[in-house]
A and B are shown apart, each in its own frame.
Chain A
Amino acid sequence: MNALQWWLTLSILLFCIGAYGVLARRNVIVVVMSLEVMLNAVNIALVAIANFRGGAPGAGTLFALFIITIAAAEVTVGLAIVIANYRNKRTVQTDQFNELKG
């Protein structure tokens, strides 16, 4: 395996770990953290491909920078929702959030 493939493997692993966290964990804060892991897995992939494959110089890193910025905003909003929700329900367990059950 060449270097790029190692980096991509790392990215996939991180992405899967993040996805697992999003799907399986019950604590909303951990879910949000897992989301961040997934975003960073994507960042790694972007940066790695930008470094090894070339193309427009700095394009991949630029995308990564945008993602980091947006992720920050997203975490802010996400945590605000978690806190607002906690005030109502006194819990952060996702399996308690089932008001929309059909």
Chain B
Amino acid sequence: MEGTQYMKIAVALLVLLPLAGFIITLLFGKRFFRTKAHLLPVALVTVTAVLSIYAFEWVVRHPDEAFVWNAFSWVAAGRLTGEWGFLVDSLTGIMLLVVGIIGMLVHYYSIGYMKDDPGYYRFFAYLNLFMFAMFVLILANNYLLLFLGWEGVGLCSYLLISFWFRKKSASQAGKKAFLVNRVGDFGFTLGMFLIFVTTGTLQFTGVFDKAEMIGSGTLLWICLLLFTGAVGKSAQFPLHVWLPDAMEGPTPVSALIHAATMVNAGVYMVARSYPLFIHAHTAMLIVMIIGTFTAIYSAYIAITQNDIKRVIAYSTVSSLGFMFLALGAGAWVAGIFYLFAHGFFKGLLFLCSGSVIHAMGGEQDMRQMGGLRQKIPLTFWTMLIGAIALIGVFPLAGFWAKDEILGGAFVGGDYVVWAVGIITAFLTAVFAFRLIFMTFFGECRASEEVRHHIHESAKVMTIPLVLLAIPSALLGILVGWPPETGWIHRFLEPVFFDLEHEKFAWLGVGGGLMVFSLAVALLGVYVAYVMYIRRTELPARLAARLPVAYEASFNKMYMDQVYEVVPIRSTIAFAGWLWTFFDVKVIDGAVNGLARLWELAGERLRPLQTGRVQNYALSIFAGMVVLVVVLAWFWGS
């Protein structure tokens, strides 16, 4: 087969280069590279970006075949075999583009953002490790290897969230992310067990071939358990609580891991398990409900947050909810399309917010910003493009994807989901432009000293912004046009087989829906404009008028408090009970009781030892007599 040798080399390098970069940088970064620690990782990641594009291009050239390569056997235990096996098809191709390109740009951006940080080399080492794990995750052709990457990115997420580990809140956030993800991963692991028990293999092709033979009850459980993993990784309700706190990490990390790549892993995994999910309608329904609820829930929280990164974080949770909504509603291609576009514009938004924070000297509170438009114009314009793409204004990336999702829900008959999606789109427009208006417009509310230092970031940071703004603006029209039959639909067809494509009609339902959702988005922008530019006293009055609604949103729907009470307090109470009752009373009681028993027995038996030999002799005689009598008795009879 033409070109597979090159593909093998490309795939092997995609995995090995970042790993090598990680090892070398971690070992020698502190001593030898120091402030040059970025050179090797950035160079390697640049190569992987090129290789990603090459692999993507290979898929484009070979639309009817997937690249499969079982490199070598990793685990072999009885019937279980785990291969370092790779699969590159169109779904992988899309993911490779997102990970490779955004990964590279974030690396470049980090050179400027992390400058002079004492952990400079460590940061780049972790970033490279993350790239390794992420490539393993998306290139794997079996669940076991996917899980390796899955846990690898989880580890990197933990390491990078708590990168500034001397800060208490950062190390706490890292732990929170890790623990919450454990819950999801537990479900994923159980799902894999169930798959293996049912089908006897973990290879994607082997599992999917048997998908129709699996009993519907078992299949439902498999799908729900896999989805549990996705809920954890992709921050869906109720396991979303870690993602907003993950903003404690450096901003490039938020852009790369917590917006563009790792959090998409859950969506990717569900999409990869498409042949399983299409046979489990109940599971699809649950995916849709969770996604829809998460989308509106976190959009509602985002409208009152004041931390610039938290707003974008809740927006990410909401967007991921949108993706699951799409998958659950059967609009698989639209979901992946949204993932594709979202990676670029959300990565862009995060990098822009990093640039803003950088300019403000570390300030993240939007109430301390304002009027930055003239001072950091490049950041402003790129962030504006990101925001417009996010809220889905024609013709930017978010528009095509979001409207295909909503259209899919509407055509599928899920009108409630569609309505919730429209409300979410409205809220998204409000909070996105609230962010833009509070940050870049109006009076500068920063202190005199901070205001003096506001400056545009270095070129190494702004160029990635521009490079991300381009796909954010154009991607939708390039791959999504025309709706429902655009390039990406044809491209993903081999993965999501058997999907029916509605013929899109501009003058029919589809066109009407698009115009309507566009109007809703623009209305949201107008509302934000009125509230945060024209009549800035309005938000406070509204909050005073609707205290319950405001407080609920501001306090993140009290979800952290719920977790505080239900799992945390009860666990602590249970642990306390185990300690004060079970350990002290039962375990210690048993041990001490046994000791006391022997002590008592000894106390009672001690008088037997009189020290008088004749007493002992009497015992011996008595025993002898008894023995003789017994023996005689038995002999006699």
Residues of chain A touching chain B, judged by Cβ–Cβ distance below 8 Å, are: 19, 22-24, 31, 94-95, 97-102
What's the least CB distance linking B610 to chain A, in Å?
A: 6
**B613 engages A97 (CB within 8 Å):** yes
B621 interfacial contact with A, CB 8 Å = yes
Q: How large is the interface on B (under 10, 10 to 19, 20 to 34, 35 or more residues)?
A: 10 to 19
Complex CA–CA separation, A23 to B62 (angstroms):
108
Where the two chains meet, the residues of B that have a C-beta atom closer than 8 Å to any C-beta of A are 606-614, 617-618, 621
Q: Are B617 and A98 in contact (CB under 8 A)?
A: no
> Is B614 in contact with A100, judged by CB distance below 8 angstroms?
no
Which 6 residue pairs spanning A and B have beta carbons closest together? Answer: A102-B609, A101-B611, A98-B611, A100-B611, A102-B606, A23-B618
The 8 Å CB contact of B610, one of A19, A23, A31, A101, is: A101
Q: B residues within 8 A CB of A31?
A: 614
**How far, in angstroms, from A99 to B533 measured CA to CA in the complex?**
103
Q: Which residues of B contact A101 (CB under 8 A)?
A: 609-612
Contact assessment for B611 and A22 in the assembled complex, using a CB-CB cutoff below 8 Å: no
B362 to chain A, nearest CB (A): 78
**B-chain residues with CB within 8 Å of residue A95 when the two chains form the complex:** 612
Chosen A-B contacts, 9 in total, with CB atoms closer than 8 Å, are A23-B617, A23-B618, A23-B621, A94-B614, A97-B612, A98-B610, A98-B612, A101-B612, A102-B607
Cross-chain contact B612 with A102 (CB below 8 angstroms): no
- Closest Cβ–Cβ distance, residue B541 to chain A (whole Å): 91
The residue of chain B having its C-beta at the shortest distance from the C-beta of A100 within the complex is B611
Contacts of A102 in B (CB 8 A): 606-611
A102 to B621, CA, bound (A): 21
Tell me if A97 and B611 are in contact (CB < 8 A).
yes
Task: Give B620 Cβ to nearest chain A Cβ, in Å.
Answer: 10
Chain B's interface: helix, strand, loop or mixed, by majority? helix
Contacts of A23 in B (CB 8 A): 614, 617-618, 621
Residue of A nearest to B609 (CB): A102
Please give, as numbers and ranges, the residues of chain A lying within 8 Å of B617 by CB-CB distance: 22-23
Task: State A56–B607 Cα separation when bound (angstroms).
Answer: 49
A76 to B127, CA, bound (A): 94
Q: Which residues of chain B come closer than 8 Å to A94, judged between CB atoms?
A: 612-614
User: Complex: how many Å from CA A31 to CA B614?
Assistant: 9
Known: A23-B617, A31-B614, A101-B610. 6 other contacts (CB 8 A): A24-B614, A94-B612, A100-B611, A102-B607, A102-B609, A102-B610
Q: How far is the CB of B598 from chain A (nearest CB, A)?
A: 15
Q: Within 8 Å CB of B608, what residues of A?
A: 102
CA distance A97 to B612 in the complex (A): 6
CA distance A45 to B430 in the complex (A): 118
State the CA gap A91–B262 with chains docked (Å): 95
A24 to B621, CA, bound (A): 12
**B-chain residues with CB within 8 Å of residue A100 when the two chains form the complex:** 609, 611
Report the minimal beta-carbon distance from B270 to chain A, rounded to whole angstroms: 76
**Chain B hits for A97, CB < 8 A:** 611-613
User: Cα distance A100–B612 when bound, in Å?
Assistant: 8
Contacts of B621 in A (CB 8 A): 19, 23
Report the minimal beta-carbon distance from A15 to chain B, rounded to whole angstroms.
11
Tell me, rounded to whole Å, the shortest Cβ–Cβ distance linking B268 to chain A. Answer: 77
User: Considering the chains assembled together, what is the distance between the CA atoms of A94 and B618 in angstroms?
Assistant: 14
- Report chain B residues within 8 Å CB of A19: 621
A22 with B610: CB separation less than 8 A = no
Contacts of B614 in A (CB 8 A): 22-24, 31, 94
Q: Which residue of B lies closest to A25 (CB)?
A: B614
| Complex CA–CA separation, A97 to B613 (angstroms) | 8
CB distance from B613 to the nearest CB of A (A): 7
Q: Which residues does chain A contribute within 8 Å of B607, judged by CB atoms?
A: 102
Q: How far is the CB of A21 from chain B (nearest CB, A)?
A: 10
Look across to chain B and name the residue whose beta carbon is closest to the beta carbon of A19: B621
Question: Which residue on A lies nearest to B618, using beta carbons?
Answer: A23
Taking CB as reference atom, which chain A residue is nearest B622? A23
Q: Which residue of B lies closest to A94 (CB)?
A: B614
**In the complex, which residues of chain B have a beta carbon less than 8 angstroms from the beta carbon of A99?**
611
| CB-defined contacts of B618 to chain A, threshold 8 Å | 23
- A22 nearest CB neighbor, chain B only: B617
User: How near does chain A come to B16, taking the closest CB pair, in angstroms?
Assistant: 76
Tell me, rounded to whole Å, the shortest Cβ–Cβ distance linking B524 to chain A. 92
Q: How far is the CA of A26 from the CA of B617 in the complex (A)?
A: 13
- B611 to chain A minimum Cβ distance, whole angstroms, is 4
> In the complex, what distance in Å separates the CA atom of A24 from the CA atom of B611?
15
Q: Quote the shortest CB–CB distance from B535 to chain A (angstroms).
A: 97
A8 shortest CB reach to chain B, Å: 14
- Per the bound structure, the CA–CA distance linking A99 and B609 in Å amounts to 11
Specify which of B606, B614, B617 lies most central, judged by the most chain A CB atoms within 10 Å of its CB. B614
Q: In whole angstroms, how far apart are the Cα atoms of A97 and B617 in the complex? A: 14
B94 to nearest A CB, angstroms? 86
Closest to B605 in A: A102
Residue in B606, B609, B613 with the greatest tally of chain A CB atoms within 10 Å: B613
Least CB distance from A98 to B in Å reads 4
CB of B52, distance to nearest CB on chain A (Å): 85
Interface centre among A19, A22, A99, A102 (most CB of B within 10 A): A102
Interface centre among A19, A24, A99 (most CB of B within 10 A): A19
CB nearest neighbor in B for A99:
B611
B471 to chain A, nearest CB (A): 92
B610: nearest chain-A partner, CB-CB = A101
Name the residue on A nearest B625 (C-beta). Answer: A19
CA distance A31 to B608 in the complex (A): 22
- Docked pose: A31 CA to B617 CA in angstroms: 11
Q: How far is the CB of B614 from chain A (nearest CB, A)?
A: 6
A98 to B612, CA, bound (A): 5
Residue of A nearest to B607 (CB): A102
Chain A residues whose C-beta falls within 8 Å of the C-beta of B609 in the assembled complex: 100-102
CB nearest neighbor in A for B606: A102
Chain A hits for B611, CB < 8 A: 97-102
A45 to B113, CA, bound (A): 110
Bound state CA distance, A22 and B618, in angstroms?
Answer: 9
Nearest to A26 among chain B residues (CB) is: B614
Closest to A31 in B: B614
Docked complex Cα distance between A24 and B618 (Å): 9
